[in-house]
Amino acid sequence: MYDLLVKGGTVLDRAQGISGKMDVAIAGGRVEAVEDTISDGKAKKTIDARGLIVSPGLIDIHTHVAWELVRLSIDPFVRCLLKGTTTAVDAGSTGELNYRGFEHYVIEASKTRILAFINIESLGMVEFADIKPGNTDQEWPSLLTRSKEKYAGMFISEENTERLIRDNPDKIVGIKWAHHGIKGMEKAREVGDSAGCRLMVENKFMPAAGVRLLKKGDIITHIFHDSFNANSGYVDGMCQDGTIPEEFFQMKKRGIIFDVGHGQGSFSWDVGELAFKEGLRPDTISSDLWSGNVKGPVYDLPTVMSKFLHLGMSLEDVFAAATSEAASAVGRRGKLGSLQPGRPADLAAFKIREGNFPMEDCYGEVRKMKRHIVPVHVVKGGELVLSNGKPVSS
């Protein structure tokens, strides 16, 4: 007898090569069977998924979920799990000094599976002092920096960061570099090499200085942000004077992973359209959800995925970029991002709403999307947490 049967939906599971109508049976918190037809007489409970897309639980490889610990963070239950994201990867909200608290109070207590990039800076992102939409001043308190490079060496410990990574291979998937100067990125490279882990770096100081530090399997996030960063005074990003520098094509060839990381200030419709025209599509679609963007322009991961449907990706590719490709990017191929029998029963069913949905980027540009992906049912570890769009109280 199965615990749960998800019946009649269109299953999109790139890792198994499935794109079509299938039933999914769950027992003991794991996927038991994915077959053309499974009788609902064999299950204690059946979810009617007719007309819905059934996907492995989404994996959002760029979030900030050190909830109640680092102020920019969001609630991983409400903002991730109830939206279909069964695995949220925190992108450097904490560093070696505060990761343990994050692990104890959030990761271990959370229904959402949480993995983490550890920030190369020991305190992670505690410096976000004033979280209001429109305030993206991310500088360290001036007392600590005093330089244009915004590099505070005493807040990086190569030794402790490396030890933390080695001690936590089940939860820490790599090192995050963000915001604070090329010296910090060089340190991230050193520690990444000695600990044998990937980097996730922001699309800044590119291509001039940052590109040379990236290796195959590293992730460059905020890939479609607009070019000039007025705060730093640097030319950032993929698009410069309406063209894409050759370095970005080279990066793609070298196997560097292009990640969306939409965020409050890192997705431009214009840059996305240019990149798609030039054949530079994202490998992974992530949200960069934090407290400053949950009420727009990000909203949630399915909305970010909808933007990439609008840019011309197929439904199959959009779901792969937030499931199987995302799992691979953080070293979890074979464990997450698929409904293969034996895997944890993390899945979500989505409605593809059709109509005209005006949707903004981070710079006030609006496009009218024809489709919007909306979560309807979510199952985590075999437990139904969202049913017909409503949270299930437990």
Give kind and range of the element (H or E) at residue 144.
helix 142-145
Please say which residue, 62 or 343, places its beta carbon nearer to Zn ion: 62
CA distance 105 to 101: 6
Interaction with Zn ion in 89-128: which residues (CB under 5 A)?
Answer: 91
| Contact pattern for Zn ion over residues 53 through 92, marking x by CB under 5 A | --------------------------------------x-
Among 103, 288, 325, 361, binds Zn ion (CB under 5 A): 288
Phi-psi label, residue 42: left if phi above 0, alpha if psi -120 to 50, beta otherwise: alpha
Please say which residue, 171 or 222, places its beta carbon nearer to Zn ion: 222
CB of 95 to Zn ion, least distance (A): 14
Residue span binding Zn ion (CB under 5 A) among the ranges 49-57, 280-288, 351-359, 376-384: 280-288
The footprint of Zn ion on this chain (CB under 5 A) covers a number of residues equal to 2
Residue span binding Zn ion (CB under 5 A) among the ranges 43-51, 282-290, 368-376, 377-385: 282-290
CB of 21 to Zn ion, least distance (A): 37
Would you count residue 202 as binding Zn ion (CB under 5 A)?
A: no
CB of 221 to Zn ion, least distance (A): 7
Find the residue with minimal CB distance to Zn ion. Answer: 288
CB of 292 to Zn ion, least distance (A): 10
Q: Which amino acid is at 238?
A: M
CB of 92 to Zn ion, least distance (A): 7
CB of 290 to Zn ion, least distance (A): 6
DSSP per-residue string spanning 50-98: TTSEEEEPEEEEEE---TTTSTT---IIIIIGGGTEEEEEEESS--TTT
Tokens of 309: 């449907």
Give the contacts of 193 (CB within 8 A, at least 6 positions apart).
none
Tokens of 296: 């727009």
CA distance 150 to 263: 22
Give kind and range of the element (H or E) at residue 198.
strand 198-202
Nearest CA to 172 out of 250, 92, 226, 249 is that of: 92
CB of 178 to Zn ion, least distance (A): 7
Please say which residue, 57 or 263, places its beta carbon nearer to Zn ion: 263
**Could you list the residues that contact Zn ion (CB under 5 A)?**
91, 288
